[in-house]
Amino acid sequence: DRVHVVVNGIVENYLALKRRLSDMGADFTSETDAEVIAHLVSHHMARGSLVEAVRAAYAELQGHYAFVAMSADEPDTLVGARKECPMIVGRGEGEQFLASAIPAFLAHTRRVQYIENDEIVVVRPGGVEFLTPDGSPIEREITTVDWDEATAEKGGYETFMLKEIHEQADAVAETIADRTIRGDGVDLAEAELDESLLQDVDRILILAAGTSFHAGLIGRYAIEEWARIPVEMDIASEWRYRNPIVSERELVIGITQSGETADTLAAMRLARERGAKVLAVTNVVGSQATRDADGVLYTRAGLEVSVAATKTFVCQVAAMYLLALRLAELRGTLPRERIAELVAELKQLPKRINQLIERLDETIQATAERHAHSQFYLYLGRHVGRAVALEGALKLKEISYIATDAYAGGEMKHGPIALLDESTPVVCIATDMPVLDKMISNMQEVRARGAHVIAVATEGDHRIDAQAEEVICVPRTDWMLQALLAVIPLQLFAYYVARKRGLNVDQPRNLAKTVTVE
């Protein structure tokens, strides 16, 4: 009872520590690693202060975690320790804060101090001390963030997710704004990555998880199409255990919305250890990913509260388009006129996002109402449309809890077609692209089995009208850029299906905004 702790993450050796502490007389009342940390800190306090006890405990703990400890013997002191998981200090007047993210204390202060990995922080009402694990003091600057309390409010929308869907045009505009000023190219100077590497790179590897993986998949198609560089994609948690082969002429791109995704960070570190240059694509300034990379490309989506990613996803896609165009420019793989054309189309995306949301909101609500109680969905796409299908299906699973599969259209006959019957809605990504004829063939096969086709198509393309029961049109733009627009009706569809089912879309069960453990 003398020591209390708050823990985020996983302590991998807690069972061994628990056995040792039990042998020394500790009385455990739970099976949690948090209680092990509390007993371990209490054990070390027998020989020193809370700060010394936390340092000693930290030296024994293995895993990915952040924890804060307090003691009844020192009621005016909090001591935190960070190992891989996020933790940040908020600085007030006569009061200080410790949290895993800035929004937790935005109502009280906008002055923050970032805690680096493998650091101890001591918080008292009058100030904050930063220490290395061996107790050496560290100087840390105070940063003022430009968020305020209103930023974390819903802004008149019924949920954060709906608010963030409607913020996507502004978020994409912010992501591309000053990077496309020239009009005939893209400038990414703030990424601070040696552009000679971009010119000479032999191969690119994109590592990510979840929604970020789908953004990376769109990026792969864009880079290969425009810059003609071979791109490999992998799920970070799989790649890091493959004993992977990486070369010095390879660029590894780690995509993580929070900048704190444990598996992506571990994969980025492994790539650097093996000689590759690493570029982080993230939304959070000062996050761990920014410190584990040779360069950073920020997505500038702003604060995203809802667990299901929406605006951070489209900003990741926009950032990958920018990178692909910059690579094409540096390597001379596209004519300057074609780059200027694509940049112009890219700059029109925010306006088209706004038009799309305003025009389709009621239509998608009606579609969602018709299908809200379906028990299974299949999503199909080809080429860049496959990434759109994967992301649309993930959104539906995350917030509506409906069993949903997403496949490449060409794989349908290799198993998924057996799942189809008259009760199955099949969402097909049928925007104007080089493989649209193949996608239309898939839609015909689906309808022949009695399933109900909902198509996402390009405005004005009437080839799709006869192939689907319902058609949702997105504005016409370059076919590669259209992937970003095609995702948005699927976000809205998932949202309204979940709302019709009476679910909490902002905090879906079993999910967290940032996955800070394996």
Statement: residue 356 has pLDDT above 60: yes
Encode pLDDT of 419-469 as tens digits.
888 889 999 999 999 999 999 999 998 888 888 999 999 999 889 998 899
Encode pLDDT of 59-92 as tens digits.
999 877 899 999 998 999 999 999 877 789 999 9
Q: CA nearest 117: which of 287, 247, 348?
A: 287
Determine the pLDDT at residue 181: 81
Locate 452 and state its tokens.
């109900």
Alpha-carbon span 377 to 393, nearest angstrom: 8
* Phi, psi of 499, deg, nearest 5: -65, -40
Q: How many CA atoms lie within 13 A of 288 on its CB side?
A: 29
Residue where the block lists tokens 């389709």: 360
134-138: long-range pairs with CB below 8 Å, 24+? 134/55, 135/51, 135/52, 135/55
Question: Domain 3-144: what homologous superfamily?
Answer: Aminohydrolase, N-terminal nucleophile (Ntn) domain (3.60.20.10)
Other C-beta atoms within 10 Å of 361: how many?
15
* CATH class for the domain made up of 160-501: alpha beta
Alpha-carbon span 217 to 390, nearest angstrom: 10
191-194: long-range pairs with CB below 8 Å, 24+? 191/279, 191/295, 191/296, 191/297, 192/295, 192/296, 193/277, 193/279, 193/294, 193/295, 194/277, 194/294, 194/295
Locate 31 and state its tokens.
């099976």
Determine the pLDDT at residue 313: 97
Encode pLDDT of 269-328 as tens digits.
999 999 999 999 999 988 999 999 999 999 999 889 999 999 999 999 999 999 999 999
Determine the average pLDDT of the residues in 129-154. 81
Statement: residue 330 has pLDDT above 80: yes
**Which H/E stretch holds residue 474?**
strand 470-474
Locate 277 and state its tokens.
């240059």
Encode pLDDT of 176-232 as tens digits.
888 888 889 999 987 777 787 788 899 999 999 999 999 999 999 999 999 999 999
Q: Are 15 and 61 in contact (CB under 8 A)?
A: no
For the chain, give every residue range classified as CATH 3.40.50.10490. Answer: 160-501
Lowest-pLDDT range, 11-15, 37-41, 273-277, 348-352?
A: 11-15
* Phi, psi of 83, deg, nearest 5: -135, 95
For the chain, give every residue range classified as CATH 3.60.20.10. Answer: 3-144
Percent of the chain scoring above 90 in pLDDT: 66
Determine the pLDDT at residue 26: 86
3-state secondary structure 305-318: CCCCCCHHHHHHHH
Determine the pLDDT at residue 416: 83
Beta bridge partners of 427: 379, 454
Statement: residue 259 has pLDDT above 80: yes
Alpha-carbon span 247 to 228, nearest angstrom: 19
50 in helix, strand or coil? Answer: helix
Q: Are 307 and 282 in contact (CB under 8 A)?
A: no
Locate 223 and state its tokens.
């880079």
pLDDT averaged over every residue in the chain: 91
Q: How many helices (H) and strands (E) are present in the chain, helices listed first?
A: 15, 20
Determine the pLDDT at residue 239: 94
3-state secondary structure 195-217: HHHHHHCCEEEEEECCHHHHHHH
Strands (E), 342-451: 376-381, 403-408, 425-430
Who has greater pLDDT, 397 or 157? 397
Q: Are 467 and 481 in contact (CB under 8 A)?
A: no
